Amino acid sequence: MSDLVQAHLDHRRIWQDFQYAYPVISRRSKGVSLGVNLNPDKVCNFDCVYCEVDRTTPGPRSDVDLAQLERELATLLDLTVSGVLFATTPFDTARPDQRRLNDIAFSGDGEPTTAPEFKDAVDCVARLKRSRGLDAVKLVLITDSTRLQAPGVVRGLEIMMANQGEIWAKLDAGTEAYYREINRTKVPFRRILDNLAATARRWPITIQTLFLEWRGQGPSAREVDAYLDCLRGVLAAGPIQGIQLYTVARPTPEPEARALRAQAMDDLALQVRAGLPDIPVEVFYGPE
């Protein structure tokens, strides 16, 4: 495996002795993304079959120390902007066009919006970004869509969207049955769809969908049709600015959760583009 591929695949949410902030070269952001992990305890309200987080070992802590988070992120911002980060492994393998700070993303070892400190963490990161004159750097929430209408989350999103924010919201299924099989959660599927629609009424959203081979099969044509119907329901409420289709890219604890081949991903993308012709669709392939 080449060093560059390894850099793309190495998305461990830990860097040196930091506990909340970490850097990655992100395929989807097309540059450096500085992650903010509000779930160092690895607790999540989803248990997706494809999740690469090892939940058999406990996380280092369960609290969110905002002062420490700010110190860690400030250090990573300085290292990235100065270019020092790109003298370290694996970032020294980044192409010239990737050697830029694209975003600060709330994406951790669990669902970021479940953290009671979510709003205060967003406010902290937004202030830190402004203090360094990084107005063009995006703030991104990568979310499983379960808590988008919670009052504290909405207040955090208001701060985020006033500071070059984007919402990347998960939708992996079109039916309740497939949703429960793949995402393995007690949160009703209807709540996901209602949350997406309510959020789209206020702000443009990006949909993230992971298609995979599970127990020897990819999603059925019926499932994809139902998925498209769900997105049409969201579109009736507000704009979807894009769809990111991706598949398993890193090892998972579930051996039956495997990446779809490139041709299968291309076929699914064709189906999605035909069903939703006005929405840009990006495809991110597995480690073939």
Q: What is the pLDDT of residue 17?
A: 86
Quick one: 275 exposed, middle or buried, by C-beta within 10 A (0-12, 13-18, 19+)? middle
User: Measured between alpha carbons, how far is 242 from 207 in angstroms, rounded to an integer?
Assistant: 6
User: Measured between alpha carbons, how far is 21 from 2 in angstroms, rounded to an integer?
Assistant: 26
Q: Report CA-CA distances (Å) from 44 to 144, 175, 214, 217, 247.
A: 10, 21, 21, 26, 20
Q: Report CA-CA distances (Å) from 76 to 40, 41, 86, 93, 135.
A: 18, 22, 11, 18, 16
Q: Which residues of 5-27 are buried (b: 16+ CB within 10 A; e: fewer)?
A: eebbbebebbbeebbbbbbbbbb
Q: What is the pLDDT along the chain (288 residues), one digit of tens a residue?
A: 333 334 444 444 455 789 999 999 877 667 899 999 999 999 999 999 999 998 888 888 889 999 999 999 999 999 999 999 999 988 998 899 899 999 999 999 999 999 999 999 999 999 999 999 999 999 999 999 999 999 999 999 999 999 999 999 999 999 999 999 999 999 999 999 999 999 999 999 999 999 999 999 999 999 999 999 999 999 999 999 999 999 999 888 899 999 999 999 999 999 999 999 999 999 999 886
Q: What is the pLDDT of residue 287?
A: 83
Q: Which residue stretches of 203-261 are H helix?
A: 221-237
Beta strands, E only, the chain: 21-26, 31-36, 101-106, 138-143, 165-170, 205-210, 213-214, 240-246, 257-258, 281-284
Q: What is the pLDDT of residue 102?
A: 93
Task: Return the H-helix or E-strand segment holding 108.
Answer: none
Query: Cα Rg for the chain, rounded, in angstroms?
Result: 18
Q: What is the pLDDT of residue 241?
A: 97
Q: What is the pLDDT of residue 8?
A: 40
User: Measured between alpha carbons, how far is 219 from 221 in angstroms, rounded to an integer?
Assistant: 7
Q: What is the pLDDT of residue 158?
A: 98
Q: Report CA-CA distances (Å) from 28 to 14, 33, 140, 208.
A: 19, 9, 12, 10
Q: What is the pLDDT of residue 14?
A: 52
- Give the start-to-end residue ranges of the domains of the chain: 3-284
Q: What is the pLDDT of residue 26?
A: 78
Which pairing describes strands 240-246 and 101-106: parallel, antiparallel, or unpaired?
unpaired
CATH of domain 3-284: 3.20.20.70
